[in-house]
Structure 1
Amino acid sequence: MKHRWRIALAMGAATAWVPGGTAWAAEAQRSTFGTLPDGRAVPAATLRNAHGVSVRVIAYGAAIQSLRMPDRRGQVADVALGYRTLAEYLAKPQYFGATVGRYANRIAAGRYAVDGRPFQAPVNDGPNSLHGGVAGFDKVLWTVTSVRSGPVASVTLRYVSRDGDQGYPGALTVDATYSLDERDTLTIEYCATTDRLTIVNVTNHNYWNLSGEGSAAGAMGTSVTIPADRYLPTDAHAIPTGELRSVAGTPFDFRQPHAVGERVREGADQQIGYARGYDHNWVIGAEVTPDQHLMARVSDPASGRGFELWSNQPGLQFYSGNFLDATSTGKSGHLYREGDALVFEPQIFPDTPNHPAFGSARLAPGQVYRNVMTYRLTTGAPE
């Protein structure tokens, strides 16, 4: 408690006492993150709590631009990859911290059908459509509809994707809410409604480096646990084959904690070769559930930073940053290279519209799509 109290005092004006209460209140502050070429300003909001945790969300891509948290010594670092300026997000899109959709992950050849009617999404990842197409949710300006301080600080953003946008039917209204509380819990909730039968799969694509986004050590020493007995093997173009394969005896077995770097280069495994590391979906459940369940435990032994990830989704896409190629310079002036970050994306399985056995990605008028992701952040035992 002394450790956290010291951090709270250091935060100063970033926190406030809850009248009549016994805890600090988290704060939300508005700002602007540059201007688009057409003159539209890009709003931003920063959520802070009393323990040195803060997250900055920008309306371009409804993205996490910064996520700062202390280590076991109280040293605060930014653990989310990203750029310092809007111009860099426009010039070299990398999905840093972004909301991705209308259909996150891949659709084979961009082709799918809804009630027998064929649709074509733009192809932007080899032969496939990735993260909604050429102009997915990560490349549009969202509207900030709410910024709130209090026991839980939050920002809500909205985007209305028109009927036919990127080849998807129906006008889709999507709300993204980021919230931070005094228990160091960061929650991202996506809700969507449609006026016509469509498909939806929205998630967040934050790149995590718990040692700090500019750390020369990279993220390969990060310990990961994923409570899944099976995963989805893919073809050479990252499309699931349809098999639900056992993780037993493979580099994909994270039922016990493993450092990512232990097995990420095991060339004898064809799946590792296809993806140049991990870029696969783990089978956590069979369908979207009313309640959340554990998706992953992630920790950095050196700093003590970590998190538990909970969600209501059936799949977890785990990506080991295999295609970071030193063409992007991050906030600290560090060139991002292969293995510098990890991505954990709760979602419906990739290419579900073309695999009936995977379940359904359909959303009909009157229904509400929800993906709720809860990160229970930890900073290790104080020294």
Structure 2
Amino acid sequence: MPLSIFTLSNRRGMAVKISTQGAALLSLQAPDRHGQLADVLHGGQPDDGIHLLPAPGRALHRQAWHAVPLLADGSVGVRLVSPGTPAVVARYVLDDAGTLMLHCEVPAEAPAAFCLVATLRVPGHLLAVQAGRVAPAGAHEQEAVGTAWDFRQPRPVGELAGAARYLAAPDGALALRLQDPGGGRLLVLEGTLASLRLACGAVAGALQIEPVLAAPAGWIAFRCSAQT
């Protein structure tokens, strides 16, 4: 199946590019407080796309998905279906308020979870993470409060100590907030998240994100805005 790239745009000037290879996000153009657009994604990284967990040997992020466009009042989107069995159904929808929604579904008898891998451009950004516990790479799961991975208050992304997987707070909350102090651009990631892995990317000024959703269905929202 040939690969295609779908572009979604809204009235605020935002533009999102999605590849049928792995249902991956390639680009997300968002405006700052002055209306200047910039791509907040480092698209085209090897692991980008949707992964089924566990699914040894399938590597859905490297396969061509079937896609059809979606149109509705005030929003545009694309529906993608992975090859093989069980099939993952992913729907990206961009609205005029600046929110990109990803809905994922998989048959109930399928493996336990799926995740989206993407890499953000975050030079000079401040990071805040609402979470309860954290599992740093190579270490045991622990309370996030009071550790090097405590990002309840905004801190420079560069202070993230390696890779870590964040788990929900007791009230179920798990969310990420990234702010560019210079341009005022703000990105909030939230959803029905089971966990959220963060790691400083191989590219300078990059942050790899891996939000995990429990099967059979879940959603992720990327909310883009600009602070004056």
TM-score under structure 2 length normalisation: 0.89
Give yes or no for contact 1:177–1:189 (8 Å, CA) kept in 2: yes
Hey, what's the Cα distance between the residues in 2 that align with 1:294 and 1:308?
11
* Structure 1 residue 147: Cα displacement: 3.0
Give yes or no for contact 1:45–1:147 (8 Å, CA) kept in 2: no
Aligned match of 2:97 in 183, 195, 212? 183
Q: Which runs of 5+ in 2 are unaligned?
A: none
Hey, what's the Cα distance between the residues in 1 that align with 2:106 and 2:110?
11
Q: Does 1:303 align with 2:206?
A: no
Q: Deviation digits for residues 206-254 of structure 1, max 9, x if unmatched?
A: 21115xxxxxxxx3x211111123211343xxxxx6x431223321000
Give yes or no for contact 2:24–2:61 (8 Å, CA) kept in 1: yes
SS of 2:43's partner is: coil
* Structure 1 residue 154: Cα displacement: 1.0
Q: Deviation digits for residues 102-144 of structure 1, max 9, x if unmatched?
A: 217xxxxxxxxxxxxxxxxxxxxxxxxxxx5565111000001
User: Larger C-alpha radius of gyration, 1 or 2?
Assistant: 1
Aligned match of 1:60 in 10, 16, 21? 21
Tell me the equivalent position of 2:132: 229
Aligned match of 2:46 in 75, 89, 94? 94
AA in 1 matched with 2:165: N
Hey, what's the Cα distance between the residues in 2 that align with 1:72 and 1:189?
29
Give yes or no for contact 1:172–1:193 (8 Å, CA) kept in 2: yes
Hey, what's the Cα distance between the residues in 2 that align with 1:198 and 1:94?
25
Tell me the equivalent position of 2:167: 283
Give yes or no for contact 2:168–2:195 (8 Å, CA) kept in 1: yes
Tell me the equivalent position of 2:114: 202
Aligned match of 1:346 in 205, 208, 211? 211
Aligned positions of 1:94-113 closer than 5 A: 94-96=46-48, 98-99=49-50, 101-103=51-53
Q: Does 1:312 align with 2:192?
A: yes
SS of 2:46's partner is: coil
Identity of matched residues, %: 25
Q: Which runs of 5+ in 1 are unaligned?
A: 1-39, 84-92, 105-131, 162-170, 211-218, 236-240, 265-271, 325-336, 349-360, 364-368
Higher strand share: 2
SS of 1:224's partner is: strand
Give yes or no for contact 1:209–1:340 (8 Å, CA) kept in 2: yes
Give yes or no for contact 1:285–1:314 (8 Å, CA) kept in 2: no
Change (3 A) 1:55 1:203: same
Higher helix share: 1
Change (3 A) 1:234 1:286: farther
Tell me the equivalent position of 1:193: 107
